[in-house]
Chains A and B, each alone.
Chain A
Amino acid sequence: MNAVGQTLVLFRRVMRNLSRQPIWIGFMLVQPMFWLLLYSQLFRRITDLHGFGTVSYVDYLTPGIAIMTAFFSGSWAGMGMIEDLDRGVIERFLTTPALRSAIVWGRIVQSGFVSTLQALVVLLVGLALGAGNGGVLGWLVILAASGLIGAGLAGFSNGIALLTRREESMIAVANFISLPLLFFSSILIARSLIPGWMRGASLANPVEWAVRAARWHVLPGTSWGQIGLYLGLLVVFTAATGLFATRCFSAYQRTL
């Protein structure tokens, strides 16, 4: 079986196991709805400030919440890897000819898939609140950006899981990166309202790439070239973190 076949087999395994956890499914679907409803209420008046490209904060916020949901679930993706490590599942995989990269990519694809599903929920709730999110093209870009940022951070998170192998360390790392990724981005606030130095730094933030791509329809003047660039950067980011996680496998195995 080739690398893609193995990745799909392992992707189906994690999806099947997740689908057997009704509580997880419940939270996966409710959480993004909850965030969108909550934030859109809390920040209702924020568009009175200048710098927002649209009058409706919901329209502004929906892509942001989709991305935020994706990057949070991506950051935590390593927890599943730690569980597999603890239960000896990974060691069993390692004694088969299965590619290490397929073990990692099965989980990365899963995170991307789940993030895309969650983004879809956000878009539906947004629609119910009156946000069109740029029509079909807008929806497709938001789904792609959400899936990619979820997958990319999942690669990083799985790598960290293989290096630390402890839930506590994994939680510490996920917490440590989450808020900076959020604050060095325009998820909740207009770009023009972010202090200059933070705005500069945010250019290196993959989450910001995802937000910029996803929010193109409410930011006048965004060209398709820019959207393509951001999505392309996210593809590169995902490939890089996937490679990182695969490398972490070698590091992990050296310690056995």
Chain B
Amino acid sequence: MDAVVVSGLEKTYGKDVRALDGMTFSIPEGQVFGLLGPNGAGKSTTVRILVTLTRPDGGTATVAGHDLAREPDAVRRAIGYVPQASGVDREATGRENLVLQGRLQGMRNADTDRRAGELLELFSLDEKANALVRTYSGGQKRRLDVAMGLMHRPQVLFLDEPTTGLDPEARAAMWDELARLAAAEQLTILLTTHYLEEADRLAERVAIVSRGKVVVEGAPDALKRDLRGELVTVDLGSSASDGAAKVVEALPGIDDVLAEGQRLFARVDQGAQAVPAILGALDGAGFPVAAVTVSRPSLDDVYLHYTGREFRSDDEAGK
């Protein structure tokens, strides 16, 4: 059975900010699923709808077998939610936060206390258990957020940008925690992220999201494998790349050429063979080349391939 089924979700903010435009995907039980996309692609809106905070304008969804619109309370009992911005009570201790969360989820007293202790240990927060949350470091606070989401042993956990705002060290530690969690608990996890590396590392399957809908879906490795060959990136220094793209397109053995700003992306079977030909052709046509790199496909390239735009520039634009 699928733990999450999302079908044609639509959401428009105000008159013309179209956050979701037919978002559709499903997650089998027990899977770690990544919604990957730049800022503003609609990831958070999707999660906020699935955790019953926001109402969609159209479309349907079920979570843990419960229809979102008809049985919101059954959905709430089945889910844990770790929001992008922490929702913990800063004036309470970590333990108090966990206990309150358990009580609101309807857990019994004894079970609540036991579970809180268990999670504090699991997330290495035992030392800070009885300290006010406002004295926590960013990483400790984020770990508490995740523990809160797990308090009542939910069937589905929603993690909205779990490592945004963490320093690289805390991020790596969080990735370890999440990977361990995904392996240990019989839990379906929906993770949103705009870090390609994070999706690659944690998600068994990703859906790449752009402008409110899924553009492609699959296992990260399969997605990368589907992009045969390698990617050649040519930096043209100061000149625009549109004209240069035509020159490169005309060469044999070039699959796909994209021009963006002063950069040119070409997908080729064998980078080592294609580069001399590309450089020669560009030189002959009067385009000076500042730099050239060859890379194996990454999720970056997958994004570029399916949306025709660079991940990083979309991410900046969406802020």
- Assembled-state Cα–Cα distance A95/B79 (Å): 8
Hey, which chain A residues are within 8 Å of B91, CB to CB?
17, 20
Hey, which chain B residues are within 8 Å of A89, CB to CB?
87-89
Q: Is the CB of A13 within 8 A of B92?
A: yes
Q: Is the CB of A88 within 8 A of B104?
A: no
Hey, which chain A residues are within 8 Å of B40, CB to CB?
none
Interface 1/0 per residue, A182-200 and B, CB below 8 Å? 0000000000000000000
Task: Number of B interface residues at 8 Å Cβ cutoff, please give it.
Answer: 29
Q: Contacts A17-B91, A95-B53, A95-B76 hold; do A9 and B103 have CB atoms under 8 A apart? A: yes
Q: Is the CB of B105 within 8 A of A96?
A: yes
Q: Is the CB of B55 within 8 A of A87?
A: no
Q: Contacts A6-B104, A9-B100 hold; do A87 and B52 have CB atoms under 8 A apart? A: no
Q: Is the CB of B89 within 8 A of A97?
A: no
Q: Which of B55, B86, B104, B105 is within 8 Å of A254, CB to CB?
A: B55
- Assembled-state Cα–Cα distance A175/B48 (Å): 35
Interface 1/0 per residue, A1-45 and B, CB below 8 Å? 100001001000100110010000000000000000000000000
> How close is B219's CB to chain A, nearest CB, in angstroms?
29
Interface centre among A88, A95, A97 (most CB of B within 10 A): A95
Per DSSP, chain A at the interface is: helix
Interface 1/0 per residue, A87-102 and B, CB below 8 Å? 1110111111110000
- Is A256 at the interface (CB under 8 A from chain B)? yes
Hey, which chain A residues are within 8 Å of B90, CB to CB?
87
- Tally A-B pairs: CB < 8 A: 66
Interface 1/0 per residue, A129-160 and B, CB below 8 Å? 00000000000000000000000000000000
- Chain A: which residue is nearest B52 at the CB level? A95
Hey, which chain B residues are within 8 Å of A95, CB to CB?
51-53, 76, 79, 81
Q: Which of A6, A13, A96, A253 is within 8 Å of B76, CB to CB?
A: A96
Q: Contacts A17-B92, A97-B73 hold; do A91 and B104 have CB atoms under 8 A apart? A: no
- Assembled-state Cα–Cα distance A252/B91 (Å): 24
Interface centre among B77, B101, B104 (most CB of A within 10 A): B104
- Chain A: which residue is nearest B55 at the CB level? A254
Hey, which chain B residues are within 8 Å of A97, CB to CB?
73, 76-77, 104-106
A-B contact list, 21 entries, CB within 8 Å = A6-B104, A13-B89, A13-B92, A13-B96, A17-B89, A17-B92, A20-B91, A87-B87, A88-B83, A89-B88, A92-B148, A94-B52, A95-B51, A95-B53, A95-B81, A96-B104, A96-B105, A97-B73, A97-B76, A253-B55, A254-B55
Report which B residues bind A (CB closer than 8 A).
Answer: 48, 51-55, 73, 76-77, 79, 81, 83, 85-92, 96, 100-101, 103-106, 132, 148
Report which A residues bind B (CB closer than 8 A).
Answer: 1, 6, 9, 13, 16-17, 20, 87-89, 91-98, 253-254, 256
